[in-house]
Amino acid sequence: MNLILLAVPFFFLLIAIELVADRVRGVSTYRLADSLNSLSAGVLSQTSGLLSKAIAVLGYAFAYEHLHLTALPDEPWVWVLAFVFYDFCYYWNHRIGHERNIFWASHVVHHQSEDYNLSTALRQTSTGFLLSWIFYLPMAVAGVPPLVFVTVAALNLLYQFWVHTRHVPKLGWYEWFFVTPSNHRVHHAQNPVYMDRNYGGVFILWDRLFGTFQEELDEQPVVFGVTTPLRSWNPLWANLQFYVQLWCDAVRAGSWWDRLRIWFMPTGWRPADVAARYPLDKPDLASFRKFEVPLARGPKVYAALQFSAYVLGVSWLLAVAAQHGLGVLAGAWLWVAFGLYCIGAWLENRPFARGLELLRLALNLPALLWAQQVGLVAGGMLVWWLLAAWSLASLSWLLWPRQAQTQPA
């Protein structure tokens, strides 16, 4: 059972409720482009997970089979123990994800949003599978069965959804034991007093125990985001940005030792010669401004509607993925990744965005034909009529004469 897939409707329902709360309280915690970028990263992460979860789950099952010291029974106490054990491992995975360059390259995606709302919770990495499995090997050694591991991992992730909101204040005694919206807002801050704090997924006790806890302070309003801004609405670039920076710094370094160790040094460390010749643009907190690209309401609505089609498509893909091999899933990933890239370019108001949209709409036709041939989508004409109607409506909007849109910022 895919708990994340089952939770998707509730995610969007709660986002809608949060938008209503925004309206009632007269605040604005959402910007359409930022939210679509976060949701696009989440959609890409789930699609990428279809290719990587098999590796992660099989890897854990292999470790369990060959390394476990005992076989824990399928009893309620084992599930409770595994839930707590997982969060302990998650704490260290999360902490190292902030403290070392190669791990931050994956995790940074979740922190790039300069807003903080429930859509931020869905902003997940597509490359976490590369190294995060290391931190959960102790569970396999301890004999936690693979099914229990997969289930508690999903429950841990589901818990973390609700803490990504600005509408819930401090919760009294609950703050001492569990991760809450208040202490997780701290975690997403770029204020120096808050940075690299509050790593727990469910339990904040680990942070209190290991000295990484920081309370949210009334005199220090949280400024969300990262110190080196992404400045893009492209989910592919969001996943690659820090890897590219590390690679460029490694290539430019004069010392071979620096080229090797940069990947494992504390986050933000750069070779001295590279830092001097290629300084990074890190805005001062006092002069910080959120990334924004001026775009009229119509193009924003168009992007949101096009994105909704990918949400439906990926939801269907997640539901039927178990019936298909990696080759088919890789093809589906390409369709999703290209579409999300196009939507990102549209939101950035790139000069080539309209032409890219025409290409994307045209490629949906052979993509559907392929999907029917491999069995991802049922045969018949109904789906073709639906695609034709959607494409015609999209083309009509794209080609309808209008005044020139605002140029990219």
Digit-coded pLDDT (tens) for 297-339 = 999 999 999 999 999 999 999 999 989 999 999 999 999 999 9
Determine the pLDDT at residue 42: 97
284 pLDDT tier (thresholds 50, 70, 90):
confident
Domain spans of the chain? 29-210, 297-398
Q: Which residue has the higher pLDDT, 281 or 259?
A: 259
Determine the pLDDT at residue 185: 98
Q: Region 336-353: what's the mean pLDDT?
A: 97
178 pLDDT tier (thresholds 50, 70, 90):
very high
For 82, residues 6+ apart whose C-beta sits below 8 A from its C-beta are 72, 139, 144, 148, 149, 152
Determine the pLDDT at residue 409: 41
379-to-136, 314, 365, 373 alpha-carbon distances in Å: 42, 18, 14, 8
Which of the residue ranges 52-56, 126-130, 150-154, 373-377 would you say has the lowest mean pLDDT?
A: 52-56
| CA-wise closest residue to 267 among 98, 92, 91, 93 | 98
287 pLDDT tier (thresholds 50, 70, 90):
confident
124: its two tokens = 């997940």
Q: Is the pLDDT of residue 405 over 50?
A: no
95: its two tokens = 């902490």
Q: Region 55-83: what's the mean pLDDT?
A: 91
Residue 308 CB-half CA count within 13 A: 10
Residue 38 CA, distance from chain mean position: 6
407 pLDDT tier (thresholds 50, 70, 90):
very low
Give burial (CB, 10 Å; 0-12/13-18/19+) of 324. Answer: middle
Which of the residue ranges 2-6, 73-77, 381-385, 398-402 would you say has the lowest mean pLDDT?
A: 398-402
Q: Is the pLDDT of residue 59 over 90?
A: no
Strand partners, 191: none
Residues 115, 40 contacting (CB under 8 angstroms):
no
Q: Region 382-403: what's the mean pLDDT?
A: 89
**Torsion angle of the four alpha carbons 35, 37, 39, 40, in this order, in degrees rounded to the nearest 10:** 160
Determine the pLDDT at residue 53: 76
Digit-coded pLDDT (tens) for 106-137 = 999 999 999 999 999 999 999 998 899 999 99
